[in-house]
Amino acid sequence: MKNKNDSRRDFIKKTTIGAAALSIGSAFNGVSARSYANIMGANDRIRVGMMGVNARGLALANNYSSQSNCEVAYICDVDTRAADKCAEQVEKKQGKRPSLEGDIRKLLEKKDFDALVVATPDHWHAPAAIMASQAGKHVYLEKPASHNPREGELLIATQKKHGNVIQMGNQRRSWPNVAKAIQELHSGIIGKTYFAKTWYTNNRPSIGVGKAVAVPNWLNYDLWQGPAPRREYKDNLIHYNWHWFWHWGTGEALNNGTHMVDLARWGLQVDYPTKVTSAGGRYRYQDDWQTPDTQVINLEFANKSMITWEGRSCNGTPIEGSTVGVIFYGENGSLQIDGGNAYKVLDLKGKLVKEVKNDFTIDARNLTNPSQALDAIHIQNFFDGIKKGQKLASDIESGHISTLLVQLGNIAQRSGGLLETDPSNGHILNNKEARKLWGRDYEKGWEPKV
């Protein structure tokens, strides 16, 4: 006999009501989710838990709680202030306060929710997704898919073992005009496409030199570190600057590069490279920041194509008129996608021949919520993957490959600047030092396992 939780999962998978259309209409037209409360029964909604809600996770919680076919049931954060703030905002949107749980291990013991949304620091991404999969949950995983390549491979193996839905949060895969641009590329609008240039620029300040201080009473620092080997707490680490420390973060390359390199890979129809080079460093300031603030990654592929990524964290001068973007070069012209839901096509002389403009205002430098209405499409695709078995815009295997490309760039940066790689799986060839960076050490008892 099926238990209550199994019956709920079966119901969710078999539900084929038109919730997605209602929800997208809600997001785009400003109709509140509560307006649909009497139309859709509570059992029709996918119940989610949110893990990590200080910044990007708070924006996602607001987006999820705005979806008419979703209920944010739980909030999990090691920062009690962030958890309380998120619960208050979610309650205003959905009319029901979510429950709070500070420990992800305890949250995953609960049977009355369907999916976990992971928006933690990078070192938690793959371990949390693996734990959730093992607990029978579907997963919406913010980019990057993993802190290191081995974790990405473990994620793929975990998903295959448990058969759950894992969607990576590279949301541009679901933006309609971006998808149309890629379709036009594949249809030959600029002929054979052989080179994609991607970039991100910003004006980030120095993070200074941190001092060892007492852990604030609002923070469970031990759980914040989780899988990472323990380090002393410093006053310039949390909440954002962990991005720039190799121990927890992955630098600008994965923080923002993942999005555009993913589009480049999609447009060029390539997977794993044959050669990777990287140059750059921490040039602008002398402080605790470890990852490059200036970096150029080159990725070469067996079909005679190439992707480059240029990251400038501390000089925000735009490239090709935009702070973030990708431009494809082909035999008959170029196609450019900036930070929004828009693109333009130019001939070989740089003359504009076609332009599809933004439907929504996008702030590419907004650190938490640049495109809520468009991202709702990606969320609904995740829900349809759960309920209907619909193909995901960014399944975990695709997400891993795009994440791996920029991870390889960072590994090249840290091990001499040049890697030769196996085009069948991206593994590093003939470089023992670089291969040491394929995985990482873990705090005892926290090692992720399939």
Question: Tokens standing for 190?
Answer: 């600029």
How many C-beta atoms surround the C-beta of residue 349 within 10 A?
Answer: 6
Judged by DSSP in three states, 171 sits in helix
Q: Which CATH number fits domain 4-173+377-388: 3.90.45.10, 3.40.50.720, 3.90.550.10, 3.40.50.2300?
A: 3.40.50.720
Task: Specify the DSSP element, H or E, that contains 275.
Answer: strand 275-281
Distance CA(157)–CA(186), nearest Å, equals 30
Edge-to-edge, what's the strand order for the sheet holding 166-168? 99-100, 70-76, 46-51, 115-118, 138-141, 166-168
pLDDT at 388: 96
Cβ pair 198, 261 in contact under 8 A:
yes
pLDDT at 363: 58
Give the burial class of 356: count Cβ atoms within 10 A of its Cβ; 0-12 exposed, 13-18 middle, 19 or more buried: middle
Q: Helices 80-94 & 56-65, crossing angle to 10 degrees?
A: 20
Distance CA(362)–CA(331), nearest Å, equals 30
pLDDT tens per residue across all 450 residues of the chain? 445 455 455 545 444 333 333 333 333 333 333 433 333 345 689 999 999 999 999 999 999 999 999 999 999 999 999 999 999 999 999 999 999 999 999 999 999 999 999 999 999 999 999 999 999 999 999 999 999 999 999 999 999 999 999 999 999 999 999 999 999 999 999 999 999 999 999 999 999 999 999 999 999 999 999 999 999 999 999 999 999 999 999 999 999 999 999 999 999 999 999 999 999 999 999 999 999 999 999 999 999 999 999 999 999 999 999 999 999 999 999 999 999 999 999 999 999 999 999 876 655 555 445 567 889 999 999 999 999 999 999 999 999 999 999 999 999 999 999 999 999 999 999 999 999 999 999 999 999 999
User: 176-366+396-438 adopts what CATH topology?
Assistant: Dihydrodipicolinate Reductase; domain 2 (3.30.360)
Distance CA(335)–CA(354), nearest Å, equals 9
Q: Tell me, what amino acid is at 117?
A: V
Cβ pair 170, 399 in contact under 8 A:
yes
**Displacement of CA 335 from its chain's centroid (Å):** 24
Question: Tokens standing for 198?
Answer: 């991607």
Task: Specify the DSSP element, H or E, that contains 72.
Answer: strand 70-76
Nearest to residue 237, comparing CAs of 229, 252, 225, 255? Answer: 225
Cβ pair 194, 166 in contact under 8 A:
no
Q: Tell me, what amino acid is at 450?
A: V
Q: How far is CA 233 from CA 77, 78, 219, 230, in A?
A: 18, 14, 11, 9
Judged by DSSP in three states, 369 sits in coil
Sign of CA dihedral 231, 236, 241, 246: negative
Cβ pair 110, 57 in contact under 8 A:
no
Q: Tell me, what amino acid is at 435?
A: R
Q: How far is CA 69 from CA 24, 45, 258, 283, 300, in A?
A: 10, 4, 29, 47, 43
pLDDT at 360: 67
Distance CA(12)–CA(303), nearest Å, equals 42
pLDDT at 18: 37
Distance CA(154)–CA(449), nearest Å, equals 7
Per DSSP, the residues of 288-351 read: S--S-SEEEEEEEETTTEEEEEEEESB----BTTBSEEEEEEETTEEEEE-SSS-EEEE-TT--
Q: Tell me, what amino acid is at 375?
A: D
**Displacement of CA 18 from its chain's centroid (Å):** 27
Question: Tokens standing for 223?
Answer: 């759980």
pTM: 0.89
Q: Tell me, what amino acid is at 127?
A: P
Write down the domain spans for the chain.
Answer: 4-173+377-388, 176-366+396-438
C-alpha Rg value of the chain to the nearest Å: 21
Q: What are phi and psi of 263, to 5 degrees?
A: -65, -40
pLDDT at 373: 83
Q: What separation, in Å, do the N-terminal and C-terminal C-alpha atoms of the chain show?
A: 28
